[in-house]
Amino acid sequence: MTAMKGPAIFLAQFQGDTAPFDTLDGLAEWAAGLGYVGVQIPCNSRLIDLKTAAESKEYCQDLQGRLARHGIEVTELSTHLQGQLVAVHPAYDTLFDGFAPPEVHGKPAERQIWAVEQVKMAARASANLGLKAHATFSGALAWPYVYPWPQRPAGLVEEAFAELARRWLPILDVFEESGVDCAFEVHAGEDLHDGASWERFLTAVGEHPRARLLFDPSHYVLQQLDYLDFIDRYHDRISCFHVKDAEFNPTGRSGVYGGYQDWVDRAGRFRSLGDGQVDFSSIFSKLAQYGYTGWAVLEWECALKRSEDGAREGAPFIRDHIIHLTDHAFDDFAKSGVDRDAIRAIMGLPAAGSDAGQGN
């Protein structure tokens, strides 16, 4: 038996303007042909009518039925772009306008309201689809100050996380009402970018039960974090899993920060599954050990390989790494089958309940 589900694929990087990548049905048929049994769907109008999905179980049942005809399930919905817009530092206003509809461009306050409502609708849509978890980003108010030069003013980080929590708490409450986990992808560029920042946020939202994690080891390789220790520390909050590879090859010229180089030239870069340095055997083992019951979802981002090749290779890679949990101990063949009195006799103790076994 197995607790983890998969293989599945995140559709965000595969959308396009030509068939089969231009519709959800086309992508589902394509993914099924590669051996995937699930798709993680980004919340954009090309793939899902989010407002309708949040309001109509009938619409969601129809969507599920369309996918089922290809042997595909929805694993999670994703609001990475909308979640990013819940909290945007002014330095990034112009760049992040592209994540929102034109009517809120240049209007940060209105853009934030739009983003918050989008994520709330995603929570309700997830519930209507019968999903247990949702994938998103936290956004960032403190990220420009991640490297403290000049020295950060005392209280800046605390105020940033207090504001981040203030914005996310009403959203998390909607996820609670919907019975869905809100899984934040810990990611460079977000205020939630490592274990320490995650702990700070979790404290700020009062250990909210729906504040959860999307585990993606590739981002820890690029930061030089111990991704196996991360699982040991935070496994009870991991609700989503992006199976993505990466490598880190520093030189005297370039390291973690990348030197403003293109991805292909950086010391740390994302790779297709099996081409990088991530120890997936240990990751799948740890997640199985801790009882992870969610999906294993390929996220393809590679500086070298074609996306179609990465997708084709990803399904068997994930399938071969999922651990089918044993239903009995490996040494059960040697069970003695003795009862309590026999056990006590082995230790030279009188039978249970005898006067000699009562003690003084």
Is 117 found in the same domain as 189? yes
- Rounded to the nearest 5 percent, the helix, strand and coil shares of the chain are 45, 15, 40
Q: How far is residue 299 from each of residues 11, 56, 121, 128, 314, measured CA to CA in Å? A: 8, 29, 24, 24, 9
Is 237 found in the same domain as 216? yes
Q: Are 212 and 182 in contact (CB under 8 A)?
A: yes
Is 354 found in the same domain as 305? no
Bridge partners, residue 10, by sequence = 40
Task: Give the Cα separation of 180 and 44 in Å (integer).
Answer: 20
Q: Which range marks the domain in which residue 352 is found? A: 332-360
| Coil, strand or helix at 326 | coil
**pLDDT value of residue 340:** 87
The residues, any chain, with a CB within 8 Å of residue 253's CB and separated by 6 or more, are 259
**pLDDT value of residue 265:** 97
Please report the DSSP string for 23-50 in residue order. SHHHHHHHHHHHT--EEEEE--TTT--H
**pLDDT value of residue 343:** 87
Helix 280-289 with 227-234: angle, nearest 10 deg: 10
Is 174 found in the same domain as 160? yes
**pLDDT value of residue 338:** 75
Is 139 found in the same domain as 71? yes
Is 354 found in the same domain as 247? no
Phi, psi of 317 (to 5 degrees): -60, -50
Is 336 found in the same domain as 282? no
- Provide the 8-state DSSP code for 88: B
**pLDDT value of residue 324:** 87
Is 349 found in the same domain as 257? no
Q: Are strands 181-185 and 133-136 parallel, antiparallel or unpaired?
A: parallel
Q: Which of 125, 234, 112 is nearest to 174 (CA)?
A: 125
- Listed as ranges, residues in the chain with pLDDT below 50 are 1, 360
Is 313 found in the same domain as 250? yes
Overall number of domains in the chain: 2
Is 281 found in the same domain as 155? yes
Model pTM score = 0.93
Provide the CATH number for the domain around residue 62: 3.20.20.150
Is 348 found in the same domain as 322? no
Is 344 found in the same domain as 235? no
The number of beta carbons lying within 10 Å of the beta carbon of residue 156 is: 14
